[in-house]
């Protein structure tokens, strides 16, 4: 049974020493093929580019072990640069413990501190019910549905949502 006590979770900026743990979580989450666009051919170098390039990368730790990560970056450049995008991954072995919610709340605060006015998720897989529920609970709205935008490993083509929230 999940333990939702998040009092011992520490969220901080990632550092180079975290990369092995980040990579392990990235591989576990993306290999499932049910929530992220990245596939099994994604390399460590690709992942570093995805997570570090023009982004703020954070990790959630429990007992000094990385159990989750999130990234904040501009959603678009120029006149759209006031809206950020974020992505989150929780180690599958630690899911159901409130880590995603804690990182979501933390990221909203960080995004404000970074000067963003809104946060937008470009692809939230419609079949990822826990994520959709969490983001709605944290004040996000579904502002669009992209038909068959995600090729789910088990279900085939499924819809994805664009979700948005002002900060």
* Tens place of pLDDT per residue across the chain (167 aa): 355 667 899 999 999 999 999 999 999 999 888 888 888 888 888 888 888 777 899 999 999 999 999 999 999 999 999 999 999 999 999 998 999 999 999 999 999 999 999 999 999 999 999 999 999 999 999 999 999 999 999 999 999 999 999 99
pLDDT in tens, 47-77: 888 887 778 999 999 999 999 999 999 999 9
Query: How high is the pLDDT of residue 44?
Result: 87
- Answer for the pair 38, 58: CB distance below 8 angstroms, yes or no: no
Residue 19 to residues 2, 25, 93, Cα–Cα distance (Å): 26, 10, 18
pTM reported for the whole predicted model:
0.90
Query: How high is the pLDDT of residue 1?
Result: 34
Domain parsing of the chain, residue ranges = 9-117
When the candidates are 3.40.50.20, 3.40.630.30, 3.40.50.300, 3.40.50.740, the CATH number that belongs to 9-117 is: 3.40.630.30
Distance CA 132, CA 146 (A): 14
Contacts of 33 (CB under 8 A, 6+ apart): 39, 40, 152, 153, 154
Contacts of 156 (CB under 8 A, 6+ apart): none
Distance CA 39, CA 28 (A): 11
Q: What is the DSSP letter of 79?
A: G
Query: How high is the pLDDT of residue 102?
Result: 97
Query: How high is the pLDDT of residue 48?
Result: 83
Beta carbons within 10 angstroms of residue 28's beta carbon: 14
């Amino acid at each position: 049974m999940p333990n939702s006590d998040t009092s011992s979770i520490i969220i901080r900026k990632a550092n180079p020493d975290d990369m092995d743990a980040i990579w392990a979580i990235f591989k576990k989450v993306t290999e499932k093929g049910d929530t992220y666009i990245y596939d099994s051919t994604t390399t460590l170098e690709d992942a570093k580019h995805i997570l570090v390039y023009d982004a703020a990368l954070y990790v959630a730790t429990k007992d000094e072990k990385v159990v989750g990560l999130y990234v904040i970056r501009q959603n678009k450049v120029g006149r759209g640069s006031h809206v950020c995008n974020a992505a989150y991954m929780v180690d599958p072995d630690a899911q159901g413990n409130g880590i995603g919610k804690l990182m979501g709340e933390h990221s909203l605060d960080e995004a404000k501190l970074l000067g963003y006015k809104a946060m937008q998720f470009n692809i939230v897989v419609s079949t990822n019910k826990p994520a959709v529920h969490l983001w709605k609970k944290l004040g996000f709205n579904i502002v669009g549905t992209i038909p068959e935008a995600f090729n789910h490993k088990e279900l085939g083509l499924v819809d994805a949502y664009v979700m948005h929230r002002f900060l």
